[in-house]
Structure 1
Amino acid sequence: MPDLSDYQHLRQNHPGWCTIESEPEIFNQILRDAGAPNTRVIELYSLDESILDKPDPIIGLIFLCRWRHDTSEVQEVETNCPNNVWFANQVSENSCGSLAMINILFNAESVILGEQLAQLKSFTAGLTPPLRGLCLQNSEFLRKTHNSFARRSEILQNNLDVIDSCKNARDSATATSPNSESAYHFIAYVPSGGSVWELDGLKRQPVKIGESDSTSRWLLTAMPRVQLQISKYSEDELMFTLLALTQTTPASIECLDTSFPYAIRVRHPYVAFMRRYIKLLAGKGIQVGHS
């Protein structure tokens, strides 16, 4: 019967990327652990000019939607990733939330990056999007930070998915498996070099969606693009979430919680704890559930 140390060992040594909950508090703790202390993820509830009034500058948007094949007739003009845009392809299943945050962080010049993130950004600066994606996939530091929020059931499911992928073609598994994270997808939007970019890790290159200055008004260029993404779905589709990655200012960081209670609870292995507790009680002759 596994105990607490076994569970932590399982998280730290799992070789793949596990599904984690798309919750701002969890993303915020990942940012702290990864080494981006002056950033914060918040959830947005409207797509109008009110988002320009946020107290902290928004350095990127993350749009979460149900993944689907794009059947629209309009084809994007593919161009090579410009030098002033950092963009990585998604080469690992279940990593798209962390990938979206990295795609934003590495395009925001004024954010503080810890040593490991700074080294990763510098090392990948001259690489192509696929090679950058491979570097992120193989980053033990990022994988362990990401997987620290994986539940035991999700780790075991990830193992089954890996076995499954060896038996089936990737395209078939993606199209027919509604329970895998590939059914949901994160798309990032960032300003860079006077333009606004859509960074979709499943596309080969970034997509330039318009021009904008360096102020927060770049969001007015990004919002119609998000609305266009939503319009591709039927009216009864409600699985959308819009997150903003903000850069905290000196004034607001004093009011910022340094820990996120929900994230701490998710990390705690309650099942392993209760198993251990019941085992200790049984050793003392106490039967749980009996008066």
Structure 2
Amino acid sequence: MSDLDDYQQLRQKHPGWCTIESEPAIFNQILRDAGAPNVRVVELYSLDESILDEPDPIIGLIFLCRWRQDAKEIQETEPDCSSSVWFANQISENSCGSLAMINILFNAESLVLGEELTQLKSFTECLTPPLRGLCLQNSEFLRKIHNSFARRSEILQNNLDVIDACKNTKAPANENSANPESAYHFLAYVPSGGSVWELDGLKRQPVRLGEDDGEHRWLLTAMPRVQLQISKYSEGELMFTLLALTQATANTSTNQAFDASAVRAVQVETLEDNGSFPYATRARHPYVAFMRHYIRVLAGKGIQVGHS
């Protein structure tokens, strides 16, 4: 078996969720592969009413921040998960980015999802947040798409983390940790059932932020909460990112059936225009395994590499 084949098998058969790069282009590719081609992830650089002018409607926000454990944090979550919002707890340590996107997708009623996501949403509809999180963790379909962007070193590190966890030798992540990437976390903000919600997979229940007044002005309710999260960081510390999930619109008449293939074509064209598609393709390619395999082929032909 070649290095390329071995690398692909390692990705496909790895049972856990690996750390991947928090890059909108990669998230866009994950959404396409999972069956949400009419959704695009964009990075926001301001937090004011100008985000209401986005050309495509925003169906959810994702706030990426460095997680800090606060023992004095006030418990604001609802006593029970409302039936008007779909919320799943985070069970796997490295799945928070994909989980945040799923929490948003499953609350957007106007979206047309692929068969796998539709079945998963239907199956988990009546489950509790912990059981929903367990279903997502055990979804081979989602895990393979997520891990397709994992590097070999991250897969091997994930295996070591599992071993350390079994031996109880791994210290919990904190802001002084040698690997601060392990302490990053994703918070999702969505409108659902007439309310605006903060969905934190590490909390038992969602947090209701206020009423949704419609017309996509729910963002005005979510923004103060995001600003509160940002205020927790000292001035000059850039340890957060704000992403928006937007729904691509298709040029269809009101009496015409929704054409998912047309929206998919629009989305692919958009990704290629803004450079996301090529970047995601390059990020997924196993360059190290390719070079090792290429050097072996040259060596087999008697060609020395690295010598003039």
**TM-score, normalization by structure 1:** 0.95
Change (3 A) 1:178 1:61: farther
1:269 and 2:268 aligned: no
State the partner residue of 1:287: 304
CA pair 129-209 structure 1, distance change in 2 beyond 3 A: same
Deviation at 1:76? 1.4
Per-residue deviation at 1:174? Answer: 3.2
Post-superposition shift, 1:160? 0.7
Q: For residue 256 of structure 1, report the CA deviation from its aligned partner.
A: 1.6
- For structure 2, the residue ranges without an aligned partner over 5 or more in a row are 252-262
Counterpart amino acid of residue 132 in structure 1: R
CA distance in 1, matches of 2:224, 2:73: 18
Q: Matched residue of 1:135: which SS?
A: helix
Structure 1 residue aligned with 2:3: 3
Contact 1:94 1:181 in 2 (8 A): no
Q: Is the 8 A contact 1:57 1:247 kept in 2?
A: yes
Cα deviations by residue, 1:157-203 (Å, 9 ceiling, x for unpaired): 11111111112277x42347552654000000000111100000000
CA contact (8 A) 2:77 2:206 kept: no
Task: Provide the rounded CA distance (Å) in 2 between the counterparts of 1:47 and 1:71.
Answer: 28
CA contact (8 A) 2:64 2:187 kept: yes
Task: Kindly state the Cα deviation for residue 78 of structure 1 after the two structures are TM-superposed.
Answer: 3.4
Q: Is the 8 A contact 1:191 1:212 kept in 2?
A: yes
Displacement of 1:116 after TM fit?
0.5
| Alpha-carbon distance in structure 2 between the residues aligned to 1:77 and 1:158 | 31
CA distance in 1, matches of 2:73, 2:140: 40
**Deviation of the 1:77 alpha carbon:** 4.7
SS across alignment from 1:190: strand
Q: Percent identity?
A: 80
The match for 1:256 is: 270
Q: What is the match of residue 172 of structure 2?
A: 173
Q: 1:277 corresponds to which letter in structure 2?
A: Y
Equivalent pairs, count: 290
What is the Cα deviation at residue 257 of structure 1? Answer: 2.9
State the distance in 2 between where 1:182 and 1:169 align.
Answer: 16
- In the alignment, the residues of structure 2 paired with residue 96 and residue 214 of structure 1 have an alpha-carbon distance, to the nearest angstrom, of 28
Give the AA of the match of 2:92.
S
Relative to structure 2, which stretch is displaced further, 229-238 or 21-30? 229-238
Q: TM-score, normalised by structure 2?
A: 0.90
Deviations 1:62-96 (A, max 9, x none): 00000001245543153211001000000001000
Q: Is the 8 A contact 2:78 2:208 kept in 1?
A: no
Aligned ranges 1:45-84 → 2 under 5 Å: 45-72=45-72, 74-84=74-84
> Aligned Cα RMSD in Å?
1.8
Measure how far apart 1:47 and its partner are. Answer: 0.2
CA contact (8 A) 1:187 1:201 kept: yes
What is the SS of the residue equivalent to 1:94?
coil
Amino acid at match of 1:257: L
Q: Which residue of 1 aligns with 2:228?
A: 228
Deviates more, 1:75-84 or 1:123-132: 75-84
Q: Distance in 2 between matches of 1:77 and 1:261?
A: 41
Uncovered stretches (5+) of structure 1, i.e. residues with no partner: none
Q: Decide whether aligned partners of structure 1 residues 200 and 150 sit closer, same or farther in structure 2, where only a CA change above 3 A counts.
A: same
One-letter code of the match for 2:240? F
In the alignment, residue 179 of structure 1 is paired with which amino acid?
Answer: N
Q: Residue in 2 aligned with 1:144?
A: 144
Q: Tell whether the 8 Å contact from 1:93 to 1:181 is kept in structure 2 after alignment.
A: no
Distance 1:133 1:114, change over 3 A: same
